[in-house]
Amino acid sequence: MDDTASIPLDAETKVAERPGDHEAELRLWLRLLTCTNLIEGEVRSRLRDTFDVTLPRFDLMAQLDKTPGGMTLGELSQRMMVSAGNVTGLAERLESLGMLERRAAPNDRRAQIVSLTPEGRRAFRAMARTHENWIAEIFADLSRDEIETLMKLLAKTKASARKAHRAGDN
């Protein structure tokens, strides 16, 4: 009996086995999705194993690092494209770890502005440097020219997706 028959295949491999059933665009979409999932899974795992931090917490800290004056939870929610409830839970956890502080918004006492503490900023920047090295490692097999070509093609892909999105709104 062939042992490989019992190994689950990813969607991209399944499509490759039946190329006549799918168009090139679907195969491309699945390839992009597979790459995204592989990279994100690796980053999630390394963040958890190395820093005991989740990817959403890292993303929230990245947003706050870009905005030293802080921002409201609503602004964070919009930037991160997640619900306000998700941001609130992340902020509470980071606050309990001493990485984040809250203060009342000057124009609206009901709103809270959150920002990284000095300790939070130091911790995030150390994580960010390591994260940058991981990303470089993940893409190490691509030459500079290949990266440039891929960036141009992905920019064109992004523009096409945005165009399709706007067309769907009509």
CA distance 2 to 153: 39
- pLDDT classification of 62: cutoffs 50, 70, 90: very high
Alpha helices in the chain (DSSP H): 11-17, 24-51, 55-66, 73-80, 84-96, 118-138, 144-169
Q: Confidence class of residue 165 from pLDDT cuts 50, 70 and 90?
A: confident
Q: What is the pLDDT of residue 23?
A: 80
Specify the higher pLDDT residue, 33 or 105.
Answer: 33
Select from 101, 98, 91 the least CA-distant residue to 56: 91
Amino acid 110: pLDDT:
82
pLDDT tens digit sequence for 70-129: 999 999 999 999 988 899 999 999 999 999 999 988 888 788 899 999 999 999 999 999
pLDDT of residue 97: 95
Write out the two tokens for 144.
């500079």
142-161 average pLDDT score: 96
